């Protein structure tokens, strides 16, 4: 009988999985606080005021009916929002208006004072249309307004629900709100008359709204709608800051393309335990963003361990999969809503302070998360960073020759590597990729055979730079070597014993399948720089940021579904390591940065492993990014 009961309980319990999380190293990584400026996640000095603007005729929400402080015109969003006749009919019945008469409704938190203040517009994403999403950013509104920003959380609930062709509309509506604001600030008697600093505009979006910010940046610079050139654009706002919160990417492709984005400051944040957009899609627009105009810009990506999709919106919370998310998603793994939102406040607040208030003291937090250890909620973060002085040496996207970099003057060689190839970086969903290639490098120093202590020489991977290239890049004491690295969980087999005919370039390794790594062995490697006179300077990679194997991620309660829905129980997210050459000079004073010739990864600190390497380059970044450093 007991066995039957046990079987019944097991059967009814289904194949649920125990809570599996990577060992938390945040106590070490985030032990220090190096930025001394006020915490951007804490309220500032301004008194906060609040109002709503909108149609004034909304049938469902009093906030946009009786209590609007400013009435706005309706806009025809039909060129940008595709829906079937039945959907159009249903929506008109639900909302009382059709998409040709879309209202411009928003909740506004703003600082008391004469201004002018930077204006930030935030667009929510897809959710139950009747569970209104726009109030969910009040916590950001309160914070940002207290710090001297105007935040407008715009209403796009009327394009939420089952639509699939509305993402262009989300972007266009965002820009139409900015048009409405232009009228507000030009109208004497309006509460916002002359209160907006039009040189400092930010746009933010969450989920599909986060995908829409990329479209909005594009539309803002275009004269016509790419999918219907009869529709003219004339926006040209000075958008300086773009924030994508757990964004989608590619649901809408202007003219059928994943659009390139240029010359904006960009922040993307994403949770490892996102139960809706369960892969780091936002890394793709991050990667597509280019700085081409010679101006000062930077981009920053934060992958937040144990954060979900919805807790950055107080309405959505932990219902990433609808009201019954607890049936499907393993909610035990999640940060508390307060922790997750505190992270959002710190990083978004710091980003907007740096980009719209030009508070340069916040710039280092984007170069190195360890500068704000006391501000960040205790979890693990993987960060990407690049600023406009970055000059590429190798991103592995230009050709199929593994011995050349991405620009003339860079040659690449490998020694004793068990694995050396270039391939796309996958995302978690099968058949989805980050749309960028990387170098995959594996090593194992152990020599196969009965002597388990036998070791070969450390494997290495080397970039050799030509004189002319180094000269043209103005390499010097203030230059930093930049690279992004993600260790994987694979460990190649040991090398075969010497004496065979294997060449030097690639050690012969045991052909057995790779073994999954033992996480108890720390991962690290040495970065070696060599100048033209052969002076060497070596530092461990871990000096410049946390080096971790992939973070164990199980989003679903059912182990079998987790296996079928995802390619890996982790996302490969390379961590960016900015490595100031000055740090190398400190340990090897004879090393001359201006005569840099070789950048070498020496795999001598962990006996075996595999890494994914991308975006190798040099940067003469603004000194404000550098101090303080660990």
Partner 1 sequence: MAVRSRWVLVVLLAAGAERARAQEYPLAPLIARLPGSTRALAMANADMGGRESDVIFYNPAQLAVAHGSDASAELYTHGDLLATLSTETGLAGGALGVGVQSLTFSSASDTYASPTELGTRGPLASSGLILAAGYAHSLFGFRAGANVKVLQQQIGSASDTRAALDAGLSYDLWRGTAGLSVQNVGPDLRTFNGHVSQPTQANLGFSSGRYEAGPLDLSAAATGSVLRGRTFVAGGGGEVSYSWLDGYAVSARAGVRRAAEGEGPWTAGVGISADRFELDYAFESRAGRPGAHRIGIHIR
Q: Restricting to residues 244-273, which ones interact with partner 1 according to CB under 8 A?
A: none
Between 187 and 327, whose beta carbon lies closer to partner 1? 327
Between 100 and 558, whose beta carbon lies closer to partner 1? 558
SS3 label, residue 290:
strand
Q: Are 613 and 485 in contact (CB under 8 A)?
A: yes
CB of 329 to partner 1, least distance (A): 9
Q: Is residue 327 a contact point for partner 1 (CB under 8 A)? A: yes
Between 14 and 449, whose beta carbon lies closer to partner 1? 14
CB of 35 to partner 1, least distance (A): 43
Give the H or E element holding residue 86: helix 85-95
CB of 82 to partner 1, least distance (A): 20
Q: Are 143 and 41 in contact (CB under 8 A)?
A: yes
CB of 128 to partner 1, least distance (A): 11
Between 14 and 628, whose beta carbon lies closer to partner 1? 14
Q: Which of 6, 7, 16, 398 binds partner 1 (CB under 8 A)?
A: 16
CB of 13 to partner 1, least distance (A): 7
Token output for 41: 């996640």
Of the candidates 548, 523, 549, the one whose C-alpha atom is nearest the C-alpha of residue 601 is 523
| Site pattern 549..568 for partner 1 (x: CB under 8 A) | -------xxx-xx-------
| Angle, alpha carbons 15-18-24 (nearest 5°) | 150
Distance CA 370, CA 30 (A): 5
| Site pattern 275..314 for partner 1 (x: CB under 8 A) | ----------------------------------------
Q: Which of 324, 400, 501, 511 binds partner 1 (CB under 8 A)?
A: 324
Q: Between the CA of residue 478 and those of 56, 219, 389, 626, 627, what are the distances in Å?
A: 56, 37, 12, 9, 12
Between 510 and 565, whose beta carbon lies closer to partner 1? 565
Strands 48-54 and 68-71: parallel
CB of 14 to partner 1, least distance (A): 5
Q: Are 119 and 71 in contact (CB under 8 A)?
A: no
Q: Which of 12, 93, 453, 513 binds partner 1 (CB under 8 A)?
A: 12
Between 324 and 504, whose beta carbon lies closer to partner 1? 324
CB of 429 to partner 1, least distance (A): 18
CB of 11 to partner 1, least distance (A): 6
Give the helix ranges, DSSP H, for 126-247.
138-146, 167-186, 208-221
Q: Which of 2, 323, 499, 503 binds partner 1 (CB under 8 A)?
A: 323
Between 559 and 583, whose beta carbon lies closer to partner 1? 559
Q: How many residues comprise the chain?
A: 630
Q: Is residue 13 a contact point for partner 1 (CB under 8 A)? A: yes
**HEC profile for 373-421?**
CCCCCCCCEEEEEEECCCEEEECCCCCCCCCECCCCCEEEEEECCCEEE
Between 11 and 294, whose beta carbon lies closer to partner 1? 11
Q: Taking contact as CB under 8 A, which single stretch among the options 12-20, 130-138, 421-429, 497-505 is the one that binds partner 1? A: 12-20
Q: Is residue 336 a contact point for partner 1 (CB under 8 A)? A: no
Burial level of 308, CB count in 10 A (0-12/13-18/19+)?
buried
Q: Show Cβ contacts of residue 590 under 8 Å, excluding neighbours closer than 6 positions.
A: 533, 535
User: What is the number of other CB atoms lying within 10 angstroms of the CB of residue 307?
Assistant: 28
Between 330 and 353, whose beta carbon lies closer to partner 1? 330
Q: Is residue 11 a contact point for partner 1 (CB under 8 A)? A: yes
CB of 550 to partner 1, least distance (A): 25
Between 200 and 562, whose beta carbon lies closer to partner 1? 562
CB of 312 to partner 1, least distance (A): 24
SS3 label, residue 73:
coil
Distance CA 149, CA 115 (A): 9
Give the H or E element holding residue 353: helix 337-355
CB of 94 to partner 1, least distance (A): 14
SS3 label, residue 484:
strand
Instruction: Report the DSSP beta bridge partners of residue 617.
Output: 392, 482
Total number of residues binding partner 1 (CB under 8 A)? 14
Q: Taking contact as CB under 8 A, which single stretch among the options 103-111, 207-215, 324-332, 584-592 is the one that binds partner 1? A: 324-332
Q: Is residue 14 a contact point for partner 1 (CB under 8 A)? A: yes
What is the binding site for partner 1 (CB under 8 A)?
A: 11-14, 16, 323-324, 327-328, 556-558, 560-561
């Amino acid at each position: 009988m007991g066995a039957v009961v046990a079987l019944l309980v097991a059967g009814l319990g289904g194949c649920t999985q125990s809570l599996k999380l990577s060992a938390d190293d945040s106590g070490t990584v985030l032990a220090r606080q190096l930025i001394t400026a006020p915490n951007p996640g804490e309220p500032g000095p301004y008194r906060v005021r609040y109002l709503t603007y909108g149609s004034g005729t909304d049938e469902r929400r009093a906030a946009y009916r009786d209590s609007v402080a400013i009435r706005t015109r309706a806009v025809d969003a039909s060129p940008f929002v595709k829906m079937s006749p039945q959907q159009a009919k249903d929506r008109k019945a639900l909302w009382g208006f059709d998409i040709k008469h879309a209202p411009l409704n928003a909740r506004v938190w703003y600082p008391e004072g004469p201004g002018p203040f930077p204006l930030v517009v935030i667009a929510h994403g897809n959710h139950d249309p009747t569970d209104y999403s726009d109030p969910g950013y009040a916590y950001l509104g309160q914070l940002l307004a207290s710090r001297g920003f105007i935040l407008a959380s715009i209403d796009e609930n009327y394009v939420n629900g089952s639509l699939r062709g509305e993402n262009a509309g989300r972007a266009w509506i965002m820009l139409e709100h900015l048009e409405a604001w232009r009228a507000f600030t030009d109208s004497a008697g309006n509460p916002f008359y002359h209160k907006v600093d039009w040189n400092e505009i930010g746009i933010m979006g969450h989920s599909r709204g986060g995908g829409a910010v990329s479209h909005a940046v594009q539309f803002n610079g275009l004269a016509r709608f790419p999918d219907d050139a009869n529709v003219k654009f004339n926006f040209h706002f000075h958008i300086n800051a773009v924030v994508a919160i757990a964004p989608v990417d590619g649901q809408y492709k202007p003219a059928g393309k994943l659009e390139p984005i240029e010359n904006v400051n960009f922040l993307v944040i994403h949770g490892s335990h996102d139960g809706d957009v369960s892969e780091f899609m936002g890394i793709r627009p991050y990667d597509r963003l280019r700085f081409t105009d010679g101006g000062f810009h930077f981009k920053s990506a934060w992958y937040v361990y144990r954060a979900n999709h919805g807790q950055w919106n107080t309405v959505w919370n932990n219902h990433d999969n609808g009201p019954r998310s607890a049936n499907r998603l393993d909610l035990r793994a999640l940060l508390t809503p307060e922790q997750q939102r505190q992270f959002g406040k710190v990083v978004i607040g710091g980003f907007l302070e740096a980009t719209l208030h030009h508070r340069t003291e916040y710039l280092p937090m984007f170069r190195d998360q360890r500068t704000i250890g006391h501000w960040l909620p205790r979890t693990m973060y993987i960060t990407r960073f690049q600023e406009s002085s970055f000059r590429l040496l190798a991103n592995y996207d230009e050709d199929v020759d593994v011995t050349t970099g991405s620009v003339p003057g860079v040659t690449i060689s490998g020694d004793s590597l068990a694995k050396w190839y270039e391939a796309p970086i996958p995302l978690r969903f099968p058949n989805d990729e980050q749309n960028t290639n990387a170098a995959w490098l594996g090593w194992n120093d152990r020599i196969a055979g009965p002597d388990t202590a036998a070791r070969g020489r450390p494997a290495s991977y080397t970039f050799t730079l030509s004189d002319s290239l180094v000269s043209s890049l103005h390499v010097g004491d203030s230059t930093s070597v930049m690279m992004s690295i993600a260790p994987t969980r694979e460990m190649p087999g040991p090398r075969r014993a010497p004496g065979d005919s294997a060449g030097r370039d690639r050690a012969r390794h045991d052909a057995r399948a790779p073994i999954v790594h033992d996480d108890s062995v720390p991962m690290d490697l040495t970065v070696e720089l060599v100048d033209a006179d052969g002076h060497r300077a070596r530092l461990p990679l871990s000096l410049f940021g946390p080096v971790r194997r992939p973070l164990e991620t199980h989003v679903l309660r059912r182990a079998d579904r987790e296996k079928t829905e995802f390619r890996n129980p982790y996302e490969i997210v390379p961590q960016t390591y900015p490595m100031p050459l000055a740090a190398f000079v400190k340990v090897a004073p004879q090393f001359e940065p201006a005569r840099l010739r070789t950048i070498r990864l020496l795999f001598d600190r962990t006996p075996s492993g595999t890494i994914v390497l991308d975006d190798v380059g040099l940067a003469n970044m603004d000194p404000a990014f550098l101090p303080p450093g660990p």
